Amino acid sequence: MRDPTEDEEIERAIQYLVHSFESSGDNPKPVILHSTRVGMDLYDRDYEKHIVISGFLHDLLEDTDATSDEIRSQFGKDVANIVEATSFDENIDDYLEKHYDIYERCFELGRSGVAVKAADILDNSDYYGLGDSEELQKNLIEKMEYFIDKSEPYIGEEDIYQELNDKFPIVKERVEKSIES
Protein backbone atom coordinates (compact mmCIF):
# COMPACT_ATOMS: atom_id res chain seq x y z
CA MET A 1 0.00 0.00 0.00
CA ARG A 2 1.32 3.41 -0.96
CA ASP A 3 1.85 6.16 1.58
CA PRO A 4 -0.24 9.21 0.55
CA THR A 5 2.28 11.63 2.10
CA GLU A 6 5.09 10.09 0.03
CA ASP A 7 2.95 10.40 -3.10
CA GLU A 8 2.32 14.07 -2.29
CA GLU A 9 6.07 14.64 -2.02
CA ILE A 10 6.64 12.84 -5.32
CA GLU A 11 3.94 14.94 -6.97
CA ARG A 12 5.61 18.08 -5.61
CA ALA A 13 8.84 16.91 -7.27
CA ILE A 14 7.02 16.49 -10.59
CA GLN A 15 5.62 20.02 -10.28
CA TYR A 16 9.12 21.31 -9.50
CA LEU A 17 10.47 19.45 -12.54
CA VAL A 18 7.91 20.95 -14.89
CA HIS A 19 8.27 24.45 -13.43
CA SER A 20 12.07 24.30 -13.74
CA PHE A 21 11.87 23.34 -17.40
CA GLU A 22 9.18 25.92 -18.14
CA SER A 23 11.20 28.70 -16.58
CA SER A 24 14.72 27.84 -17.75
CA GLY A 25 14.95 24.53 -19.60
CA ASP A 26 16.87 24.59 -22.85
CA ASN A 27 17.18 20.98 -23.96
CA PRO A 28 15.42 20.42 -27.30
CA LYS A 29 14.76 16.76 -26.46
CA PRO A 30 11.56 15.75 -24.60
CA VAL A 31 13.30 15.86 -21.20
CA ILE A 32 10.16 16.18 -19.07
CA LEU A 33 8.80 12.99 -20.63
CA HIS A 34 12.15 11.23 -20.14
CA SER A 35 12.46 12.38 -16.52
CA THR A 36 8.89 11.32 -15.83
CA ARG A 37 9.52 7.85 -17.27
CA VAL A 38 12.70 7.47 -15.16
CA GLY A 39 10.90 8.56 -11.98
CA MET A 40 7.88 6.38 -12.68
CA ASP A 41 10.07 3.36 -13.45
CA LEU A 42 11.64 3.71 -10.01
CA TYR A 43 8.21 4.37 -8.44
CA ASP A 44 6.70 1.28 -10.07
CA ARG A 45 9.61 -0.78 -8.77
CA ASP A 46 8.84 0.44 -5.22
CA TYR A 47 12.12 2.24 -4.66
CA GLU A 48 12.36 4.52 -1.67
CA LYS A 49 10.87 8.00 -1.97
CA HIS A 50 14.22 9.84 -2.19
CA ILE A 51 15.32 7.57 -5.06
CA VAL A 52 12.03 8.08 -6.93
CA ILE A 53 12.20 11.86 -6.49
CA SER A 54 15.81 11.84 -7.67
CA GLY A 55 14.71 9.95 -10.78
CA PHE A 56 12.27 12.71 -11.63
CA LEU A 57 14.85 15.43 -10.97
CA HIS A 58 18.03 13.76 -12.27
CA ASP A 59 18.46 16.05 -15.33
CA LEU A 60 17.64 19.39 -13.70
CA LEU A 61 21.21 20.51 -13.02
CA GLU A 62 22.23 19.83 -16.63
CA ASP A 63 19.19 21.24 -18.38
CA THR A 64 17.77 24.07 -16.24
CA ASP A 65 18.89 26.85 -13.95
CA ALA A 66 17.96 24.78 -10.87
CA THR A 67 20.83 24.48 -8.39
CA SER A 68 21.93 21.79 -5.98
CA ASP A 69 21.18 24.15 -3.11
CA GLU A 70 17.60 24.65 -4.32
CA ILE A 71 17.08 20.91 -4.69
CA ARG A 72 18.63 20.31 -1.25
CA SER A 73 16.35 22.95 0.27
CA GLN A 74 13.24 21.59 -1.44
CA PHE A 75 13.87 17.82 -1.23
CA GLY A 76 16.74 17.16 1.18
CA LYS A 77 20.39 16.23 0.99
CA ASP A 78 19.86 12.63 -0.15
CA VAL A 79 17.98 13.78 -3.28
CA ALA A 80 20.47 16.58 -3.96
CA ASN A 81 23.41 14.17 -3.63
CA ILE A 82 21.86 11.73 -6.12
CA VAL A 83 21.00 14.49 -8.60
CA GLU A 84 24.56 15.83 -8.32
CA ALA A 85 26.02 12.35 -8.87
CA THR A 86 23.89 11.75 -11.98
CA SER A 87 24.78 15.11 -13.56
CA PHE A 88 27.61 15.90 -15.97
CA ASP A 89 30.69 17.74 -14.80
CA GLU A 90 30.77 20.81 -17.06
CA ASN A 91 34.59 20.78 -16.96
CA ILE A 92 34.81 17.44 -18.81
CA ASP A 93 34.50 17.60 -22.59
CA ASP A 94 35.27 14.03 -23.68
CA TYR A 95 32.05 12.08 -24.25
CA LEU A 96 33.06 8.80 -22.60
CA GLU A 97 35.06 10.43 -19.82
CA LYS A 98 32.02 12.57 -18.95
CA HIS A 99 29.83 9.47 -18.60
CA TYR A 100 32.42 7.42 -16.72
CA ASP A 101 32.78 10.31 -14.28
CA ILE A 102 29.03 10.18 -13.58
CA TYR A 103 29.14 6.42 -13.15
CA GLU A 104 32.03 6.63 -10.69
CA ARG A 105 30.22 9.29 -8.64
CA CYS A 106 27.10 7.10 -8.61
CA PHE A 107 29.17 4.10 -7.47
CA GLU A 108 30.72 6.22 -4.71
CA LEU A 109 27.25 7.25 -3.58
CA GLY A 110 26.05 3.64 -3.62
CA ARG A 111 22.81 1.87 -4.42
CA SER A 112 20.62 4.97 -4.62
CA GLY A 113 22.72 6.75 -7.25
CA VAL A 114 23.29 3.56 -9.20
CA ALA A 115 19.56 2.74 -9.27
CA VAL A 116 18.68 6.20 -10.63
CA LYS A 117 21.42 5.98 -13.26
CA ALA A 118 20.25 2.47 -14.24
CA ALA A 119 16.69 3.75 -14.78
CA ASP A 120 18.10 6.66 -16.81
CA ILE A 121 20.19 4.35 -19.00
CA LEU A 122 17.27 1.95 -19.46
CA ASP A 123 15.07 4.75 -20.74
CA ASN A 124 17.76 6.34 -22.92
CA SER A 125 18.76 3.00 -24.43
CA ASP A 126 15.49 2.95 -26.38
CA TYR A 127 17.06 5.71 -28.48
CA TYR A 128 20.46 4.06 -29.00
CA GLY A 129 20.82 3.35 -32.67
CA LEU A 130 19.63 6.83 -33.56
CA GLY A 131 22.98 8.50 -32.88
CA ASP A 132 24.62 10.92 -35.26
CA SER A 133 27.78 8.96 -36.00
CA GLU A 134 29.35 5.53 -35.89
CA GLU A 135 31.69 6.74 -33.14
CA LEU A 136 28.75 7.89 -30.99
CA GLN A 137 26.99 4.56 -31.54
CA LYS A 138 30.08 2.63 -30.41
CA ASN A 139 30.45 4.93 -27.39
CA LEU A 140 26.83 4.30 -26.38
CA ILE A 141 27.41 0.55 -26.34
CA GLU A 142 30.75 0.85 -24.56
CA LYS A 143 29.37 3.04 -21.78
CA MET A 144 26.27 0.86 -21.30
CA GLU A 145 28.39 -2.29 -21.04
CA TYR A 146 30.76 -0.58 -18.61
CA PHE A 147 27.89 0.55 -16.38
CA ILE A 148 26.29 -2.90 -16.34
CA ASP A 149 29.59 -4.57 -15.42
CA LYS A 150 30.41 -2.11 -12.63
CA SER A 151 26.88 -1.73 -11.18
CA GLU A 152 26.32 -5.38 -10.29
CA PRO A 153 27.70 -5.09 -6.72
CA TYR A 154 25.21 -2.28 -6.02
CA ILE A 155 22.01 -3.43 -7.72
CA GLY A 156 22.85 -6.89 -9.07
CA GLU A 157 20.06 -8.56 -7.09
CA GLU A 158 17.42 -6.06 -8.21
CA ASP A 159 15.00 -6.29 -11.14
CA ILE A 160 16.30 -3.07 -12.67
CA TYR A 161 19.76 -4.59 -13.05
CA GLN A 162 18.39 -7.74 -14.64
CA GLU A 163 16.33 -5.72 -17.09
CA LEU A 164 19.34 -3.60 -18.01
CA ASN A 165 21.48 -6.71 -18.44
CA ASP A 166 18.80 -8.45 -20.54
CA LYS A 167 18.29 -5.36 -22.71
CA PHE A 168 21.98 -4.88 -23.51
CA PRO A 169 22.29 -7.55 -26.27
CA ILE A 170 19.13 -6.21 -27.93
CA VAL A 171 20.44 -2.65 -27.86
CA LYS A 172 23.88 -3.76 -29.04
CA GLU A 173 22.35 -5.61 -32.01
CA ARG A 174 20.20 -2.58 -32.92
CA VAL A 175 23.24 -0.29 -32.81
CA GLU A 176 25.37 -2.68 -34.85
CA LYS A 177 22.64 -2.84 -37.52
CA SER A 178 22.47 0.95 -37.51
CA ILE A 179 26.23 1.17 -38.03
CA GLU A 180 26.08 -1.30 -40.93
CA SER A 181 23.40 0.66 -42.77
Helix axes 49-57, 31-44, angle to 10 degrees: 170
| Positions of the chain with pLDDT lower than 70, given as ranges | 25, 28, 129-132, 181
* Domain ranges within the chain, ordered by starting residue: 4-180
pLDDT at 4: 85
User: What pLDDT shows up at residue 121?
Assistant: 96
Q: Quick one: CATH architecture of 4-180?
A: Orthogonal Bundle (1.10)
Q: What is the pLDDT of residues 17-59, one digit of tens each?
A: 999 988 876 776 788 999 999 999 999 999 999 999 999 999 9
**148/162 Cα distance (integer angstroms):** 9
pLDDT of residue 31: 87
pLDDT at 25: 67
Q: State the pLDDT at residue 136.
A: 79
CB-based contact 118:160 (threshold 8 Å): yes
Question: Which pLDDT value is given to residue 118?
Answer: 98
Instruction: Reduce the DSSP state of residue 1 to 3 states and report it.
Output: coil
Of 55, 66, 53, the closest CA to residue 24 belongs to 66
pLDDT of residue 139: 85
Count of Cβ atoms closer than 10 Å to residue 156 Cβ? 12
Report d(CA 141, CA 146) in Å as an integer.
9
H helical segments located in the chain:
4-24, 31-44, 49-57, 60-63, 68-75, 77-85, 95-109, 111-124, 134-155, 159-180
